C-alpha cells in the first residue's frame, strides 16, 4: 500500500470504535503502519484484520492509558514492533454530561482520567520518538493530533466537567505546539461536533434520552468525517502546519 504516509508509523488511541477506528483505517490507506490501541482486544483484532485485508500493516496494543505504566509500555511496544513513531492521534475519550449537582464524582473522575491524564501519559511517552522521527524520517516532520470537541470552545449547561477537560486539551495542544514547532513536530487539535459514535452510549438513561432529543433534527457527522480531517493534517508538506480544525454538523449551532 502506497501513499503520502508510506514508511511511517502511526499510533491511534481509542481505536476500537468510532473516530479512532475510522482514523486508523484512513491513515493506513495513506500507507502508514498503524498501531491500534484500546481496551477491547476483539474489536482491535477485527480492525487490524480489516487493515491487513486492504493491504496495510496493523499492530494491536491492548492497554488502559489511564494507567501511566500501561500507557508508556504501549508506546514503547509500538516502537519496538514497528521501529519508529511518526504520528500520534490522541483520540480516546469519555463523555459524562448532566447537571453538576446530581453528577456522580466517579463520572467526573473518569473524564479527567481518560480525557486529560490518558492523553498526557501517551503524549509524554511518545514525544521523544516523535521528535526523533521529525529529525530522521524522509518526510522530516512528525505529527501529534489531539481529538478535542466543540465542548473545548463552547461551554453549555450540563457539560461543565467535560468542558473542563476539552478546554484543557485545547490549551495544552497550543502551548505544546509552540514548544516543539521549531523541531518540525506539528501539534494539532481537531474539534468534532455531533458524531454518530458510541461516546454517548454509556450516559445515564434520562440524560441520554435528553441528548437524543436535542440532536434528533441534526444530521450527525460520521466518524469518517473526522478521520478525513486528521488525515488532511498529517499528510501536508512539512512547510504546512494545520493547527486546528473545527468540524461541526452542518445544522449544529453550538
Domain extents in the chain? 9-247
Mean pLDDT of the region 112-119: 98
Confidence category of residue 226, pLDDT binned at 50, 70, 90: very high
Give the pLDDT score at 124: 98
**242 or 213: which leads in pLDDT:** 242
Catalytic residues: 162
Mean pLDDT of the region 139-164: 96
Provide the CATH topology of domain 9-247. Answer: Rossmann fold (3.40.50)
The three cell numbers locating residue 163 = 468542558
Give the pLDDT score at 36: 98
199 DSSP 8-state letter: T
Give the pLDDT score at 254: 87
Give the pLDDT score at 205: 64
Instruction: Write down the residue that cell numbers 441528548 correspond to.
Output: 211
Give the pLDDT score at 212: 65
Mean pLDDT of the region 160-168: 98
Q: What percentage of the chain exceeds 70 in pLDDT? A: 93
Phi, psi of 89 (to 5 degrees): -115, 110
The three cell numbers locating residue 120 = 498526557
Contact present, 13 and 20 (Cβ < 8 Å): yes
23 pLDDT higher than 70: yes
Query: CA–CA separation, 3 vs 183, rounded Å?
Result: 24
Confidence category of residue 202, pLDDT binned at 50, 70, 90: low
Give the pLDDT score at 217: 81
128 pLDDT higher than 90: yes
**Alpha-carbon 22 to chain mean position:** 11
Query: CA–CA separation, 56 vs 229, rounded Å?
Result: 20
211 pLDDT higher than 90: no
150 pLDDT higher than 60: yes
Mean pLDDT of the region 173-184: 98
Give the pLDDT score at 253: 87
Mean pLDDT of the region 238-244: 98
pLDDT in tens, 78-113: 999 999 999 999 999 999 999 999 899 999 999 999
Angle at 199 between CA 46 and CA 104, to 5 degrees: 130
Among candidates 76, 167, 84, 178, which has minimal Cα distance to 125?
Answer: 76
Query: CA–CA separation, 230 vs 27, rounded Å?
Result: 9
199 pLDDT higher than 60: no
Confidence category of residue 166, pLDDT binned at 50, 70, 90: very high
Give the pLDDT score at 65: 98
Q: What percentage of the chain exceeds 90 in pLDDT? A: 87
Amino acid at each position: 500500500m502506497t501513499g503520502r504516509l508510506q514508511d511511517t508509523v502511526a499510533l491511534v488511541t481509542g481505536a476500537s470504535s468510532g473516530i479512532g477506528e475510522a482514523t486508523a483505517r484512513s491513515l493506513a490507506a495513506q500507507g502508514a503502519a498503524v498501531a491500534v490501541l484500546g481496551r477491547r482486544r476483539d474489536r482491535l483484532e477485527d480492525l487490524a484484520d480489516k487493515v491487513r485485508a486492504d493491504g496495510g500493516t496493523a499492530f494491536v496494543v491492548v492497554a488502559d492509558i489511564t494507567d501511566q505504566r500501561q500507557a508508556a509500555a504501549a508506546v514503547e511496544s509500538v516502537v519496538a514492533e514497528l521501529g519508529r513513531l511518526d504520528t500520534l492521534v490522541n483520540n480516546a475519550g469519555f463523555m459524562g454530561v448532566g447537571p453538576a449537582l446530581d453528577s456522580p464524582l466517579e463520572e467526573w473522575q473518569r473524564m479527567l482520567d481518560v480525557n486529560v491524564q490518558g492523553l498526557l501519559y501517551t503524549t509524554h511517552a511518545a514525544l521523544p520518538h516523535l521528535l526523533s522521527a521529525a529529525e530522521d524520517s524522509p518526510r522530516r516532520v512528525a505529527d501529534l493530533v489531539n481529538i478535542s470537541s466543540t465542548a473545548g470552545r463552547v461551554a453549555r449547561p450540563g457539560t461543565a466537567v467535560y468542558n473542563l477537560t476539552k478546554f484543557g486539551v485545547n490549551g495544552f495542544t497550543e502551548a505544546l505546539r509552540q514548544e516543539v514547532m521549531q523541531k518540525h513536530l506539528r501539534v494539532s487539535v481537531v474539534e468534532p461536533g455531533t458524531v454518530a459514535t458510541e461516546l454517548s452510549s454509556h450516559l445515564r438513561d434520562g440524560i441520554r434520552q435528553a441528548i437524543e432529543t436535542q440532536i434528533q433534527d441534526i444530521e450527525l457527522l460520521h466518524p469518517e468525517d473526522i478521520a478525513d480531517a486528521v488525515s488532511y493534517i498529517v499528510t501536508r508538506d512539512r512547510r504546512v502546519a494545520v493547527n486546528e480544525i473545527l468540524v461541526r454538523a452542518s445544522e449544529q449551532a453550538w
